[in-house]
Structure 1
């Protein structure tokens, strides 16, 4: 693994879809990711990484999926398979518990919240790129759910826009080992600048910040 550093003022953690439906017991989608999530220590790793980037003074950006509302996708010409499932199961429903933030990963003062994405990329048809540009961000660390859908699509789009992209293999999950393997061993190396573990990512962060000084 090549040595990598994350400039404090030019790095952001993109936390994708930290909803109860994905991350909490009783969540609508949680049973499907639970085996992989438990195996990789997903929640503990997300908590540790979230705390470490905040201690380092790095910007946190919440990148949320569209919260389902009655009528969503129903008159679309060709909703994709995931959108059809959302129509059926009403996952991430606005105003319901499943569409609320997991309590340990809810936005905090100073965080940015991008517009909700309708598909899989957090950049497509949202203001995410604009928000990052306004903060001077050049490096993004992409974590959350799911490894082979919204994480991969968001991270690929970030690469296309010129960002330095890091994936964190144990700060995400998917429905199967094959999906995780594809995300990190087959597809990730074609676009990500770095694929790390949570421990490696935290070790590469700048030292805890008690000021707004930029680390070069």
Structure 2
């Protein structure tokens, strides 16, 4: 692995770090609990975020749309996942589940991106603008889910010309099959690096 992570051109994208996903009482935690526990996801995310902050890598919070009454009612073609989210009231606005996990607050100097309605953090948001405004051309994608929002954001980022890094144990999915498809089958078609947390931390520290 020869990639370097110059803090002046690198961004860490924290995708959907909501309580509903990352906390034990979250509505969607049962989806990822088995893999997240096996991969030590929470500990790895804490390590990745703290390492990035210490190195001066800018943190971007990339949140999914928070459900509100009336969402998707007048949409002609909402996706099954969008309809499911509405039924479950996932990440409901002004609720605990729709709040960022307490270990990952938005701090001064962080970038809070506009919420994405689909899977990718790029369409209909200001993510691309916020990255380019700060000269960020390398993106490290961590968060949930591996085969939906993480993959869609990383793939779209590659299409826009960004260097994309994924972290194997910095994400999770609803099944081992979904995780395998996202990281071992799909990722090599667009990601420039697929690292472990330890590998990423070493690369960041070696750069600075």
1:68-79 matched pairs, under 5 angstroms: 68-79=67-78
Residue in 2 that maps onto 1:6: 5
Give the superposition deviation at 1:207.
5.9
Give the superposition deviation at 1:96.
0.6
Moved more, 198-207 or 97-106: 198-207
1:15-94 matched pairs, under 5 angstroms: 15-94=14-93
Are 1:127 and 2:132 matched, yes or no?
A: no
Please give the alpha-carbon distance, in whole angstroms, between the structure 1 residues aligned to 2:81 and 2:162. 27
SS in 1 for 2:97: helix
Please give the alpha-carbon distance, in whole angstroms, between the structure 2 residues aligned to 1:74 and 1:90. 13
Contact in 2 for aligned 1:74/1:87 (Cα 8 Å): no
Residue in 1 that maps onto 2:200: 201
Please give the alpha-carbon distance, in whole angstroms, between the structure 2 residues aligned to 1:128 and 1:171. 20
Please give the alpha-carbon distance, in whole angstroms, between the structure 2 residues aligned to 1:57 and 1:207. 13
Give the superposition deviation at 1:143.
0.2
Please give the alpha-carbon distance, in whole angstroms, between the structure 2 residues aligned to 1:177 and 1:150. 17
Give the superposition deviation at 1:3.
1.3
* Contiguous gaps of at least 5 residues in structure 1: 209-214
Q: How many residues align?
A: 208
Residue in 1 that maps onto 2:191: 192
* Contiguous gaps of at least 5 residues in structure 2: none
RMSD of aligned Cα (Å) = 1.0
Please give the alpha-carbon distance, in whole angstroms, between the structure 2 residues aligned to 1:206 and 1:7. 10
SS in 2 for 1:47: helix
Are 1:164 and 2:163 matched, yes or no?
A: yes
Please give the alpha-carbon distance, in whole angstroms, between the structure 1 residues aligned to 2:80 and 2:195. 30
TM-score by structure 1 length?
Answer: 0.94
Please give the alpha-carbon distance, in whole angstroms, between the structure 2 residues aligned to 1:134 and 1:87. 33
Give the superposition deviation at 1:206.
4.1
Deviating above 4 A after TM superposition, structure 1's stretches of 4 or more consecutive aligned residues are none
Please give the alpha-carbon distance, in whole angstroms, between the structure 2 residues aligned to 1:23 and 1:106. 13
Give the superposition deviation at 1:114.
0.5
TM-score by structure 2 length?
Answer: 0.98
